Structure 1
Amino acid sequence: MSKILTIGVAAYNAESTISNTIESLLVPEIMDKVEILIINDGSTDGTRKIIEKYKERYPKTVRVINKSNGGHGSVINKTISLAKGKYMKMVDADDTLEEIGYVDLVNILQSETVDAVLSPYFTANIISKEKSLHGYLLNDEKIFYDKRKVKFNDYYKKIKPTLHSITYRTAILRDSKWRVDEKCFYEDTQYSLYYWLDINSILLLSKPIYCYWLGNENQSVNIKNRLVRRQQAISVVLNLVNFFDSEKANMSMQKITFFKSEIDGYTTFIYKLLMALSDEKKAKKETKIYDTYLKQNSIVLYSGLGNYGTSKKLARLIKILRKTSWHGYYIVYKLLNKKIIKQITV
């Protein structure tokens, strides 16, 4: 039987969580319609042994690819090239899927052809197990639609896609010339955006499918790790800026508006991240370097900072600092540093 959905599982040194993830994907009702494609990204612990056992037990459902370490982005790119399902969804090896929404998704996609599916998702604390529901609309509006098929041009001002909310039609990914960055973190932002360049039809669902587990100090979104890896985050965002700059001439006005809004949110976040550094001199120096690069690569996003996305207050302050040759930066830093750290702490 042809597969409806490929679940790409990114696995690196995940021996303590990978079984829980895979078990959430092995729902008997839909196993014959699903391909679970586990990419072992050069793990050095017991991950490979665990996933090989699942491959042996479920040979018609589970596929395992063992490769050298290339980072989360390399797993996404590999999954795009190997997926057999008509649709594709990525899952990290420390997250899970919600059975009701997952089953519903697969059954619905049997008779639907759309470019992308958006669904709500949970974030959950690994210690307290407390869950919080998130939406796929701007400002995290928890307004969900049950099997509503819409056109991108009618919803481009409303949607807020993330890796956890998106299911793509595989052909959209495979036919795109864009691939996410490898050997780095935070490239899921690229995965969440690049492919909307070719998306015209969207299916909106009401049931949560993904559960994103937080609270592990080793996670890339932990603030300490964000700061240590900030150059990777900057590189990913600047490549998004370059993507927009290279493609905007061929975009419709709706696509331009959508990408401006989304990428503006990420470009502004970098200013916030740098202001969370403990060394104010280093924060100022790196902010000026980043700001210069942004100006050189996309005057549209540079001059329009904060006009399209979030963090408008911070964006206004950045624009004032530009006009004063960054005099007064330390005052702004002292006012916002602790508040920003609190905002971005996961």
Structure 2
Amino acid sequence: MENKKILTVGIAAYNASTTLTHTLKSLLLSEILNKIEVIIVNDGSTDDTQKIAEKYVLKYPHTVRLINKKNGGHGSVINKLIQTANTPYLKLVDADDTVEKKGFVSLINCLENCQADVVLSPFYLANLKNNKKIEKGYLINNKKNFEDNKICVFKDYYKKLDPALHSITYKTELLRKSDFKVDEHCFYEDTEYALYYFLYAKSILMLDKPVYCYWIGNDGQSVNIENRLNRRNQALNIVLNMISFYENNKENMDRYKKIFYMNHISALIGFSYELLMALPSEKIAKSESKKFDTKVRKISPEIYQYFGNGDMGGRKIAKIIKLFRITNWNGYFIVYKALNSSMVNRIKMV
């Protein structure tokens, strides 16, 4: 008798013919095949992504499904997967990333007896050029950056949580009941996915084994600094969306959720100013920073005033921006000249 499947792994695949096989091989482990479903969403690829996916559907008909759709961006894939997942839990894996066998099997075994709204696990940041792996956690102000198989309530960790798409496994029911949709046809919407759905999350299972392996070093990735700068308007819009999300939902938040969201949004705002300060033109950097600052104030005077008071860093840039606000942005050129190089290096490291 086939065991009940517990986890849906959703794969966002766009022109992923060179990496999809590697991703699938890491997932399709014999010891857990009957416990997972893998949904490959082919987001309008023009290469052999569909053909590769079809081979795996034929080979693993009880585990692998393929959905072909018009290109709508990573966010559209996330929204589609939330609608179509057939198991209690959903984890997203990009078609150029992999999972770690030990951590992945352990995750699935834990999920079989899990009722938590969110499951968090460490992940690896791995470099394609030298295969070096760095372990990343999901907590701040914590020596290990993760906990050892611990169930907690949100209010006990609201100031420590630092979730990312790579560390998150959501309860599918939570995603559907929340009824939020992340932005489509844009990049950096993973920030929305990592934060929106915590609004109604109460219980969290924290694991200690890395599950996800996030491969970086590809010049075409959205986190590449040139791409970040070229797509900065999309990144800034995501931050503005997060501010609007807070304003639209703060009446449904207790004080723990309010502080959680204000801290994260404050950090996102700070990174936005740093990103703009990494631009090669001081004139453009100043102009766009002023416009962004005006939009933040218009959407949420509360967040505008709170900026820099959170526990997630960014206080240095916040002090600078608050001084600019007082002086009508006089002196930006001097600060830009002093910090531009360091901001470029910082963005490269993120």
Kindly state the Cα deviation for residue 158 of structure 1 after the two structures are TM-superposed: 1.1
State how far apart, in whole Å, the 2-side matches of 1:27 and 1:175 are.
Answer: 31
State how far apart, in whole Å, the 2-side matches of 1:157 and 1:141 are.
Answer: 15
1:135 and 1:141 in contact (8 A); partners too? no
Q: Which residue of 1 aligns with 2:298?
A: 296
State how far apart, in whole Å, the 2-side matches of 1:142 and 1:37 are.
Answer: 33
Flag the 1:58–1:142 CA change in 2: closer, same or farther, 3 A.
Answer: same
1:308-327 correspondence runs (5 A): 308=310, 309-327=312-330
Q: Which residue of 1 aligns with 2:346?
A: 343
Q: Which residue of 2 aligns with 1:85?
A: 87
Flag the 1:232–1:250 CA change in 2: closer, same or farther, 3 A.
Answer: same
Structure 2 residue 338 is the aligned partner of structure 1 residue 331: no
Q: Which residue of 2 aligns with 1:45?
A: 47
The residue identity in structure 2 corresponding to 1:314 is I
The TM-score with structure 2 as length reference comes to 0.97
State how far apart, in whole Å, the 2-side matches of 1:213 and 1:116 are.
Answer: 24
Kindly state the Cα deviation for residue 139 of structure 1 after the two structures are TM-superposed: 5.1
Q: Which residue of 2 aligns with 1:253?
A: 255
Q: Which residue of 2 aligns with 1:114?
A: 116
Secondary structure, counterpart of 2:166 in structure 1: coil
Structure 2 residue 198 is the aligned partner of structure 1 residue 196: yes
Identity %: 52
Flag the 1:46–1:224 CA change in 2: closer, same or farther, 3 A.
Answer: same
Kindly state the Cα deviation for residue 147 of structure 1 after the two structures are TM-superposed: 1.9
State how far apart, in whole Å, the 2-side matches of 1:264 and 1:144 are.
Answer: 22
State how far apart, in whole Å, the 2-side matches of 1:79 and 1:149 are.
Answer: 26
The residue identity in structure 2 corresponding to 1:78 is K
State how far apart, in whole Å, the 1-side matches of 2:165 and 2:137 are.
Answer: 12
State how far apart, in whole Å, the 2-side matches of 1:265 and 1:141 are.
Answer: 20
1:245 and 1:298 in contact (8 A); partners too? yes
The residue identity in structure 1 corresponding to 2:267 is G
State how far apart, in whole Å, the 1-side matches of 2:257 and 2:307 are.
Answer: 18
1:124 and 1:130 in contact (8 A); partners too? yes
1:1-346 correspondence runs (5 A): 1-138=3-140, 141-308=143-310, 309-346=312-349
The residue identity in structure 2 corresponding to 1:51 is A
Kindly state the Cα deviation for residue 198 of structure 1 after the two structures are TM-superposed: 0.5
Flag the 1:20–1:181 CA change in 2: closer, same or farther, 3 A.
Answer: same
State how far apart, in whole Å, the 1-side matches of 2:180 and 2:269 are.
Answer: 19
Count of aligned pairs between the two proteins: 346
State how far apart, in whole Å, the 2-side matches of 1:249 and 1:288 are.
Answer: 29
1:274 and 1:286 in contact (8 A); partners too? yes
2:12 and 2:95 in contact (8 A); partners too? yes
Kindly state the Cα deviation for residue 145 of structure 1 after the two structures are TM-superposed: 2.5
Kindly state the Cα deviation for residue 2 of structure 1 after the two structures are TM-superposed: 3.0
Kindly state the Cα deviation for residue 109 of structure 1 after the two structures are TM-superposed: 0.7
Following TM superposition, the consecutive aligned residue runs of length 4 or more in structure 1 with deviations greater than 4 angstroms are: none
Flag the 1:141–1:8 CA change in 2: closer, same or farther, 3 A.
Answer: farther
State how far apart, in whole Å, the 2-side matches of 1:15 and 1:65 are.
Answer: 16
State how far apart, in whole Å, the 2-side matches of 1:174 and 1:231 are.
Answer: 29
Q: Which runs of 5+ in 1 are unaligned?
A: none
Secondary structure, counterpart of 2:169 in structure 1: strand
1:134 and 1:142 in contact (8 A); partners too? no
State how far apart, in whole Å, the 1-side matches of 2:159 and 2:318 are.
Answer: 20
1:241 and 1:298 in contact (8 A); partners too? yes
Secondary structure, counterpart of 2:18 in structure 1: coil
Kindly state the Cα deviation for residue 186 of structure 1 after the two structures are TM-superposed: 0.1
The residue identity in structure 2 corresponding to 1:233 is A
2:142 and 2:160 in contact (8 A); partners too? no
1:134 and 1:140 in contact (8 A); partners too? no
1:294 and 1:301 in contact (8 A); partners too? yes
State how far apart, in whole Å, the 1-side matches of 2:295 and 2:249 are.
Answer: 18
1:125 and 1:131 in contact (8 A); partners too? yes
1:119 and 1:206 in contact (8 A); partners too? yes
State how far apart, in whole Å, the 2-side matches of 1:182 and 1:302 are.
Answer: 26
Q: Which runs of 5+ in 2 are unaligned?
A: none
Flag the 1:221–1:141 CA change in 2: closer, same or farther, 3 A.
Answer: farther
State how far apart, in whole Å, the 2-side matches of 1:139 and 1:96 are.
Answer: 28
The residue identity in structure 1 corresponding to 2:325 is R
Secondary structure, counterpart of 2:38 in structure 1: strand
The TM-score with structure 1 as length reference comes to 0.98
1:125 and 1:214 in contact (8 A); partners too? yes
State how far apart, in whole Å, the 2-side matches of 1:228 and 1:39 are.
Answer: 26
